[in-house]
Structure 1
Amino acid sequence: MYDLLVVGAGPYGLSIASHAAAAGLNLRVFGRPMASWRDHMPRGMFLKSEPWASNLSDPRGRRRLDVYCAAQGVAARHGEPVPVEMFADYGLWFARHAVPEVDERTVTRVAPCPGGFEAVTDDGQVLHARTVALAVGVMPFVEIPAALRGLDASLVSHSSHHSDLIRFHGKDVTVIGAGQAALETAALLAEQGTRVRVLARAAHLRWNDAPPPWERPWWQSARSPHSGLGPGWRNWFYSERPGAFRRLPERTRTRITASALGPAGAWWVRDRVERAVEVLLAHEVTSARAVPGGVRLEVLSRANGSHPPLRSVETEHVIAATGFTASLDRLTLLSVDLRDSLSTMIDGSPEVGRDFESSYPGLFLAGLVTASGFGPAMRFVHGATYTAGALVRGVRRHLRVRPLSGAIPAPGRPSPSETPTRAYG
């Protein structure tokens, strides 16, 4: 039986695995490394966060993004966005050097069993572990507006469903949303020759300013410090003090998580949108139906003086860049009895303790699903550093593992004595 099974191999899962390996835990890691970044983001996209705020976490801080970039002959500079492809390659490099070998199979079910948990892979293998850390990223939580649900995937998709937008070359596409995913997707579509419009409920688009210089007078830093989520004391609190955020009242935490750092476009995509993309503001889709050649959207205009208030928009495809809803009911890989036993917060997300342990002992959660517990940082790569350290401390506390005095074990394959056997029957 393993000490820890890490389900997920994105920035959070890999960071947790690195800290767990350094702590001497007997662990396995499952998932396609950096899958969201490799399979669910179109080429040409950039990280919105600063390079120094986009590090995966190893205990000694040696496997940083800037270290990887330097080895590739590229400087990771403050204020210069990093291509998503480079970040994905960085994650793969981190996986090779900072964690035990990752098993790329998918874990399809996690259930309680005597002494811990039973996990089943997509090919039927059964493994047992005393603790489990779910770091499943954002894909289980894809949110598509109710008006668009039920339409065929050839007509409606989520922005995270695309690793390549070339299929839309020469077509007419409507992107729904007002955040970075919507605006950058629309810019990429326009730049490849797609007729594209953005349809947003917001009355106006919000654009993030270019970050202030890294080196600046002390009084400017004191007034608006840099942080992993952007400049300012409020962002500093969210990004640098997740443990303190968790001590806020539950209603305050859920309200902040739902509203802080709302939809906005990065400064470097603004000109690309404004010069090439039609934007319909204060518009909301009320219904949608398939028609010959695509989709007809019935749209309600909420702009003052709009006449007529209702209009139809016909398009060949709709991309919903409408975010993610991290509710417990969407963690369907958990067995029904395990899922039903978990306590939830008022927004439907699972409740987690100070070490990211759920209300079921030994089941730990990481990433977006913990944002209402530990704050907006958990929506970004930056939150992986705090999570990895705290979560592994919680696992060790659960296992009652004493601190090690020996060397950190090198990443590698499990020894024969650690390799699980296939279940009978």
Structure 2
Amino acid sequence: MYDLLVVGAGPYGLSIASHAAAAGLRLRVFGRPMASWRDHMPRGMFLKSEPWASNLSDPDGRWQLDRYCAGQGVAARHGEPIPVETFAEYGLWFARHTAPEVDERTVIRVTPCPGGFEALTEDGQVFHARTVALAVGVIPFVEIPPALRGLPSSLVSHSSHHDDLSRFRGRDVTVVGGGQAALETAALLAEQGTRVRVLVRADRLSWNDVPPPWERPWWQSARAPHSGLGCGWRNWFYAERPGLFHRLPEATRTRVSSTALGPAGAWWVRDRVEGAVEVLPGHEVAAAGSVRDGAGVRLEVVHRTRGEGTGLLGTLETDHVIAATGFTATCDRLTLLSPDLRADLMSSTAGSPRVTSVFESSHRGLFLAGLITAPGFGPAMRFVQGAAYTAGTLVRGVRRRLRAGDVGAVVPAPGRRGRSGTPAGARG
């Protein structure tokens, strides 16, 4: 029986594996390394995060992005975006040097068993472990607006479904969304000769500012320090103090995690969008249906101008719709967990699993990492930035649980009543 199974081999999973291996745990890691970055992003995209805020985490801090780039003759400088392909290759390099060999099979089911958990792989093999860390990334949580869900994938897709946009060359595509994924996808489409428009619910697009120089007068740094999530003390708090964020009232955490660092385009993509892409602000898809014998989509679109309570309904036809509408990380979408295990998870008001200060769920021995922990630990968990804090903290929690030896029990969250109706004690 393994001490720990890590399910997922992206930045969070690989970072957890590195810390667990250094701690001497007997572990196994499952998943296609850096799959989201290799399989779900088109060539030509760049990291929105600064290179120095895009490091995977090993205990000694040796295997960082700038070191990999230096070995490849590539610059990793402040204010210069890194290609997604370079970042994906960095993750593979990191895995080779810091983590045990990754088993690229997919885990399709995690089930409680005496003494821990069993994991079933796609080819029918079963593995047992005392603890499990789920680091499944964002793909299980893809969000497509309700009005578009009934249409086939030939007509509607999510921005994360594409690693190659060339099939849209010469066609008409409508992108829904106003964040980086929407705007960079639209820019890439326009640059390859696709007729593209962007529908944005907001009255206008938001753009991130060009970052200030790394070295600047002390008083400027004091007023707005650099952080992995942008300049300013609030962003610094989100980036550097996830543990303190976890202590905030749940209502505050839920509000901040859902509103902070909202949809915005990177400064370096702005010139590629403005003047090249048709942008329709204040537009929302109300309904959609296929036309031209299934070769296109008719969108019924509500157009609202600032201050208006009602909107004008119009229609437009397009060959394909790409929904760049983000991800919704909730308990019900953790479908690789067995139904009884999923039912054991206490959820927050945001619908995500409650986690302790060491990322342990309400089912002892089951740890969570990445986007699904953002309501508990803040906006940093939506970015690579959060991997370092998560990896070190989670592995400490795993070691604590292994020492305690009481895996498998369900412990209701603080302030909640358990299934028996008795008050739950504090944990974590």
Question: Is 1:346 the counterpart of 2:345 in the alignment?
Answer: no
Question: Is 1:380 the counterpart of 2:391 in the alignment?
Answer: no
TM-score (norm 1): 0.93
Paired position in structure 1 for 2:106: 106
Counterpart CA distance in 2 for 1:74 and 1:163 is: 23
Counterpart CA distance in 2 for 1:233 and 1:325 is: 27
Counterpart CA distance in 2 for 1:284 and 1:154 is: 21
Question: Is 1:355 the counterpart of 2:331 in the alignment?
Answer: no
For structure 1, the 5+ residue unaligned runs are: 402-425
Question: Is 1:76 the counterpart of 2:76 in the alignment?
Answer: yes
Counterpart CA distance in 2 for 1:43 and 1:303 is: 35
Structure-2 change in CA distance of 1:260 and 1:88 (3 Å) = same
How far did residue 308 of structure 1 move? 8.1
Paired position in structure 2 for 1:413: none
Counterpart CA distance in 2 for 1:246 and 1:266 is: 28
Counterpart CA distance in 2 for 1:127 and 1:150 is: 37
Paired position in structure 2 for 1:406: none
Counterpart CA distance in 2 for 1:284 and 1:84 is: 30
Paired position in structure 1 for 2:39: 39
Paired position in structure 2 for 1:315: 318
Paired position in structure 2 for 1:299: 301
Paired position in structure 1 for 2:394: 391
Paired position in structure 2 for 1:366: 369
Amino acid at match of 1:280: L
Counterpart CA distance in 2 for 1:215 and 1:117 is: 49
Paired position in structure 2 for 1:116: 116
Question: Is 1:266 the counterpart of 2:266 in the alignment?
Answer: yes
Paired position in structure 2 for 1:334: 337
Counterpart CA distance in 2 for 1:304 and 1:381 is: 35
Paired position in structure 1 for 2:425: none
How far did residue 150 of structure 1 move? 1.2
1:253-275 CA distance string (max 9 Å, x none)? 00000000000000000010002
Counterpart CA distance in 2 for 1:119 and 1:90 is: 28
Amino acid at match of 1:122: E
Structure-2 change in CA distance of 1:27 and 1:304 (3 Å) = closer
Paired position in structure 1 for 2:415: none
3-state SS, counterpart of residue 400 of structure 1: helix
Counterpart CA distance in 2 for 1:340 and 1:28 is: 26
1:337-366 CA distance string (max 9 Å, x none)? 000011000010000000000000000000
Structure having greater relative contact order (Cα 8 Å, sep ≥ 6): 1
Counterpart CA distance in 1 for 2:75 and 2:192 is: 28
How far did residue 75 of structure 1 move? 1.7
Amino acid at match of 1:284: E
Counterpart CA distance in 2 for 1:294 and 1:382 is: 40
Counterpart CA distance in 1 for 2:112 and 2:74 is: 47
3-state SS, counterpart of residue 225 of structure 2: coil
How far did residue 304 of structure 1 move? 4.9
3-state SS, counterpart of residue 151 of structure 1: coil
Amino acid at match of 1:310: L
Q: Note the 1:2-401 alignment, pairs <5 A.
A: 2-292=2-292, 293-304=295-306, 309-400=312-403
How far did residue 400 of structure 1 move? 1.4
1:361-397 CA distance string (max 9 Å, x none)? 0000000000000000000001000000000000000
Amino acid at match of 1:316: D
3-state SS, counterpart of residue 118 of structure 2: strand
3-state SS, counterpart of residue 384 of structure 2: coil
Counterpart CA distance in 2 for 1:390 and 1:3 is: 16
Counterpart CA distance in 1 for 2:311 and 2:229 is: 41
How far did residue 303 of structure 1 move? 1.2
Q: Moved runs in structure 1, 4+ residues, more than 2 A?
A: 304-308
1:311-355 CA distance string (max 9 Å, x none)? 101000000000000000000000000000110000100000000
How far did residue 161 of structure 1 move? 0.1
Paired position in structure 1 for 2:409: none
Counterpart CA distance in 1 for 2:27 and 2:345 is: 24
Counterpart CA distance in 2 for 1:265 and 1:328 is: 29
Counterpart CA distance in 2 for 1:138 and 1:108 is: 16
1:81-106 CA distance string (max 9 Å, x none)? 00000000000001111100000000
Amino acid at match of 2:268: W
Counterpart CA distance in 2 for 1:97 and 1:156 is: 40
Paired position in structure 1 for 2:420: none
For structure 2, the 5+ residue unaligned runs are: 405-428
Amino acid at match of 1:303: T
TM-score (norm 2): 0.93
Counterpart CA distance in 1 for 2:311 and 2:282 is: 13
Structure-2 change in CA distance of 1:95 and 1:275 (3 Å) = same
Counterpart CA distance in 2 for 1:388 and 1:7 is: 13
Amino acid at match of 2:304: R
Counterpart CA distance in 2 for 1:182 and 1:141 is: 17
Amino acid at match of 1:394: G
Amino acid at match of 2:150: G
Paired position in structure 2 for 1:417: none
